[in-house]
């Protein structure tokens, strides 16, 4: 029997003040394959003040052998995920967001891939749940199975925390999610930063199309909220590039050049996005230096 067939898995779901969404997320989990497949569900309450704690408690009471709750009062999705990692007992950890629904077949498919290809981290598809939602919000379409060789600097969006998986040995070697990045901070891109750190640490990644979650973010197409989130993505990309540059990973400059300085030059909109990214990079570096980081 392969290691993939027997390996214990943990599904980590962070949430904060979204009782209705985490309730729907948990209600839609493929419970039969979680029970049959040696999977535990770790739900991390990131200091909620609404009914989130009660929702989580009801779910854990209904599935006491396969679910546990964790409280992480300090805000930030990276801190919440790190608390989930510490509490989880699985060797292979899967991360989804509280506004995502895991498709049936996810965990058997993940085990099949672990049994046939070697990888230590990666991501699956993040597809829109509602047709009217803005399709630019944390959507990741993967046309075919791919492996990411070690020592690769990944472009933003390649692997997303809404559907991400990491072997515990990766965290043991390269560290946990950066608490200065992610939802709850001014800078997202904590997911791709973690993935690139895994890659630079010598681990192999994979992007797998038949591992699917549906993103129910509830932001209308080109709405004010959607535009606000897109701007936060730009600031996060800047922070991601800045952290790479601070670690002397010069490929960050090349990624910026490829995205904004093509043969025909950048458009005005491209340059506006670049300016926002530079602002995010500078702000992140100031905060990092102030906190004693390098």
**Looking at residue 163, which CATH number applies to its domain?**
3.90.550.10
Mark whether 149 and 116 lie in a shared domain. yes
Mark whether 209 and 235 lie in a shared domain. no
Mark whether 39 and 103 lie in a shared domain. yes
The tens-digit pLDDT sequence of the chain (294 residues) is 345 667 899 999 999 999 999 999 999 999 999 999 989 999 999 999 999 999 999 999 999 999 999 999 999 999 999 999 999 999 999 999 999 999 999 999 999 999 999 999 999 999 999 887 877 777 899 999 999 999 999 999 999 999 999 999 999 999 999 999 999 999 999 999 999 999 999 999 999 999 999 999 888 777 788 788 888 889 999 999 999 999 999 888 888 887 776 655 567 777 788 889 999 999 999 998 888 765
What tokens appear for 128 in the block?
């829109």
Distance CA 209, CA 146 (A): 9
Mark whether 152 and 44 lie in a shared domain. yes
Distance CA 139, CA 149 (A): 23
What tokens appear for 190 in the block?
């904590």
Mark whether 34 and 96 lie in a shared domain. yes
Q: What pLDDT score does 177 carry?
A: 98
Q: Report which of 206, 41, 198 is spatially closest to residue 112, judged by C-alpha positions.
A: 206
Mark whether 198 and 245 lie in a shared domain. no
Domain end, chosen from 215, 240, 267, is at 215
Helix (H) or strand (E) holding 96: strand 92-96
Q: What pLDDT score does 260 carry?
A: 73
Mark whether 54 and 139 lie in a shared domain. yes
Mark whether 286 and 268 lie in a shared domain. yes
CA 206 to chain centre: 14
- Are the beta carbons of 12 and 85 closer than 8 angstroms? yes
Domain end, chosen from 180, 197, 215, is at 215
Q: What pLDDT score does 171 carry?
A: 98
Mark whether 60 and 177 lie in a shared domain. yes
Q: What pLDDT score does 272 carry?
A: 83
Per DSSP, the residues of 2-62 read -HHHH--EEEEEEESS-HHHHHHHHHTS-HHHHHHTTEEEEEEE-S--SSHHHHHHHHHHH
Mark whether 62 and 150 lie in a shared domain. yes
Distance CA 246, CA 47 (A): 31
Cα within 13 Å of Cα(148), Cβ side = 26
What tokens appear for 168 in the block?
């515990």
* Cα end-to-end span (Å), the chain: 45
Q: What pLDDT score does 4 carry?
A: 61
The four Cα atoms 169, 172, 173, 175 give a dihedral, to 10 degrees, of: 130
Q: What pLDDT score does 265 carry?
A: 57
- Are the beta carbons of 135 and 246 closer than 8 angstroms? no
Distance CA 112, CA 116 (A): 6
Helix (H) or strand (E) holding 215: strand 205-215
Cα within 13 Å of Cα(91), Cβ side = 11
Separation in Å, CA 153 to CA 11, 197, 241, 250: 26, 8, 10, 10
Mark whether 228 and 133 lie in a shared domain. no
pTM of the model: 0.92
CB atoms within 10 A of CB 263: 4
Number of independent structural domains in the chain? 2
Domain end, chosen from 215, 233, 259, is at 215
Domain ranges, residue 248: 224-290
Mark whether 94 and 152 lie in a shared domain. yes
Look at the alpha carbons of 112, 33, 95, 234 in this order and tell me if their dihedral is positive or negative. Answer: positive
């Amino acid at each position: 029997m392969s290691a993939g067939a027997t390996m214990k898995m943990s599904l980590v779901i962070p949430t904060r003040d979204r009782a209705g969404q985490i309730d729907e997320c948990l209600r839609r989990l493929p419970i039969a394959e979680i029970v049959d497949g040696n999977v535990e569900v770790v739900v991390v309450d990131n200091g909620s003040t609404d009914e989130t704690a009660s929702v989580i408690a009801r779910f854990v009471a209904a599935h006491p052998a396969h679910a546990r709750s964790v409280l992480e009062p300090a805000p930030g999705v990276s801190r919440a995920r790190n608390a989930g990692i510490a509490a989880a007992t699985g060797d292979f950890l899967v991360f989804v967001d509280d506004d995502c629904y895991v498709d049936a077949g996810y965990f058997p498919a993940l085990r099949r891939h672990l049994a046939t290809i070697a990888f230590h981290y990666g991501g699956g598809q993040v597809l829109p749940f509602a047709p009217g939602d803005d399709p630019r919000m944390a959507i990741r379409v993967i046309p075919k199975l791919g492996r990411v060789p070690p020592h690769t600097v990944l472009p933003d969006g390649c692997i997303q925390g809404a559907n991400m998986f990491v072997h515990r040995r990766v965290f043991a070697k390269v560290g946990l999610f950066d608490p200065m990045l992610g939802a709850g901070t001014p800078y997202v891109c904590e997911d791709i930063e973690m993935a690139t750190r895994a890659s630079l640490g010598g681990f192999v990644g994979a992007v797998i199309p038949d591992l699917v979650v549906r993103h129910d973010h509830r932001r209308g197409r080109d709405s004010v909220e959607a535009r606000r989130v897109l701007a936060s993505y730009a600031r996060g990309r800047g922070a991601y590039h800045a952290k790479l540059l601070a670690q002397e990973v010069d490929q960050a400059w090349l990624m910026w050049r490829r995205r904004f300085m093509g043969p025909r030059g950048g458009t005005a909109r491209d340059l506006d996005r670049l300016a926002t990214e530079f602002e995010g990079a500078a702000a992140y570096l100031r905060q990092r230096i102030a906190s004693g980081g390098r």
